[in-house]
């Protein structure tokens, strides 16, 4: 398991791609601005908001795996994820 930090801008940025059969991921907003999480079309109005310092766990076990994208409403943010 490795933690990876991704810089998030105001356009959708790939945070991680979780393949089939993995256990999931832990995602933390490690920046100073809110980050919004979703698919490749993520925007502040159609996503999950992650406040600075907030952590979420995304369970694995899906039939297809998934990709997670993020976008910052303003400025630049950062997200750190750990795939399990």
Q: Given this model, what pLDDT does residue 23 score?
A: 73
CATH number, position 52: 2.60.120.10
The domain total for the chain is 1
Q: Range of 79's domain? A: 3-83
pTM for this prediction: 0.87
- 74 or 55, higher pLDDT: 55
Backbone dihedral region for residue 63 (phi beyond 0: left; psi -120 to 50: alpha; all else: beta)? alpha
- Separation between Cα atoms, residue 12 and residue 39, nearest integer Å: 8
> Looking at the chain, how many residues does it have?
84
**CA R_g for the chain:** 12
Residue 1 has pLDDT above 80, yes or no: no
Q: What is the pLDDT of residues 9-66, one digit of tens each?
A: 999 999 988 776 667 789 999 999 999 999 999 999 999 999 999 999 988 766 667 7
- Separation between Cα atoms, residue 8 and residue 63, nearest integer Å: 28
- Separation between Cα atoms, residue 75 and residue 68, nearest integer Å: 20
């Amino acid at each position: 398991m490795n933690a990876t930090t991704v810089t998030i801008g105001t356009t959708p940025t790939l945070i991680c791609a979780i393949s089939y059969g993995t256990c999931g991921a832990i995602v933390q907003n490690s920046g100073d601005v809110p980050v919004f999480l979703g698919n490749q079309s993520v925007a502040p109005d159609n996503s999950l908001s992650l406040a600075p310092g907030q952590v979420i766990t995304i369970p694995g076990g899906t039939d297809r795996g998934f990709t997670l994208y993020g976008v910052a409403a303003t400025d630049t943010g950062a997200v750190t994820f750990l795939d399990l």
